[in-house]
């Protein structure tokens, strides 16, 4: 198991009050598996993803990444753990104006490790996702489709064990949504990474192994999209290796 959320509660501060958006959420994500959390805007998907990625400490419950609780570690060790094992995928412009290749290189330059081959690795990942033609372009020159591919490349370039994807398809059409989610499914199978996606479009769940919906702070079950013709319902506790085909 790559990720385990155990009884997680979380919220955010608004003025002098705390708005609670997650209540007793539990979820497991296994290596090579794509899990989608479907919900309308404002239901807490982004909060759930930030907690899963170690970007936000839960108010209650535990987050285990490869069996380790990031919030039990000192800051420096927690940052090393997260940099090495978690990739964050979100369509957001770089903080400075750089070419796409430089943007994808940046995650490889943070922390320790060999950096000499960083440009080659970044080019390889852009080619893998089908965005190698964008390497010399800048963010404002990209289409929404290209931005989605570049976001995946930047999140996956370090070959993390967990890839957390925040509403990547919200600006894409049906065909592009199918292609980008198929790509995430393929990357998970190839690398063995666990993929956790937050989606606001049900069409984005078609290549998921399991789907849950987030509403009222609770995580509920949805039918498995890959078995939509049958009556089987995906269980949040099922390991994909134990599921029947």
8: domain CATH number is 3.40.50.300
Contact 20, 9 (CB under 8 A): yes
**54 in any annotated domain:** yes
142 — pLDDT class (breaks 50, 70, 90)? very high
- Output the pLDDT for position 243: 36
Residue 61 in this model has a pLDDT that exceeds 80: yes
Contact 46, 40 (CB under 8 A): no
Distance CA 166, CA 134 (A): 22
- Output the pLDDT for position 20: 78
pLDDT, average across residues 131-137 = 97
- Residue 145 sits at φ, ψ, to 5 deg, of -65, -50
Residue 202's CB is within 10 A of a number of other CB atoms, namely 13
- Output the pLDDT for position 16: 67
Residue 95 in this model has a pLDDT that exceeds 80: no
**241 in any annotated domain:** no
pLDDT, average across residues 65-84 = 95
- Please give the residue range of the domain that contains residue 42: 3-232
Q: Which residue has the higher pLDDT, 146 or 42?
A: 146
**138 in any annotated domain:** yes
**222 in any annotated domain:** yes
Number of domains in the chain: 1
Total-model pTM: 0.87
- Output the pLDDT for position 113: 61
- Output the pLDDT for position 112: 64
Mean pLDDT, the chain, rounded, equals 88
Residue 242 in this model has a pLDDT that exceeds 50: no
């Amino acid at each position: 198991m790559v990720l385990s959320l155990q009884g997680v509660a979380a919220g955010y501060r608004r003025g002098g009050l705390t708005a609670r958006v997650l209540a007793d959420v539990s979820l497991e994500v296994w290596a090579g598996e794509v899990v989608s959390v479907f919900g309308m805007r404002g239901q807490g998907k982004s909060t759930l993803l930030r907690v899963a990625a170690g970007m936000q400490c839960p108010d209650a419950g535990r987050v285990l990444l490869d069996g380790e609780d990031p919030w039990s570690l000192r800051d420096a060790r927690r940052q090393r753990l997260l940099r090495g094992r978690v990739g964050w995928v979100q369509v957001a412009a770089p903080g400075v104006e750089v070419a796409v290749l430089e943007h994808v290189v940046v995650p490889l330059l943070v922390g320790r490790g060999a950096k000499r081959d960083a440009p080659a690795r970044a080019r390889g990942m852009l080619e893998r996702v089908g965005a190698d033609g964008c390497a010399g372009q800048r963010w404002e020159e990209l289409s929404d489709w290209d931005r989605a591919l570049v976001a995946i490349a930047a999140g996956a370039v370090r070959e993390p064990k967990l890839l957390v994807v925040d509403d990547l398809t919200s600006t894409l059409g049906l065909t592009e949504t199918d292609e980008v989610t198929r790509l995430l499914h393929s990357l998970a199978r190839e690398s063995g990474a666990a993929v956790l996606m937050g989606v606001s479009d049900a069409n984005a769940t078609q290549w998921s192994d399991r789907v849950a919906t987030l509403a009222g702070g609770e995580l509920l079950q949805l039918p498995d999209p890959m078995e939509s013709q049958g009556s089987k319902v995906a269980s949040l506790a099922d390991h994909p290796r134990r599921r029947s085909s």
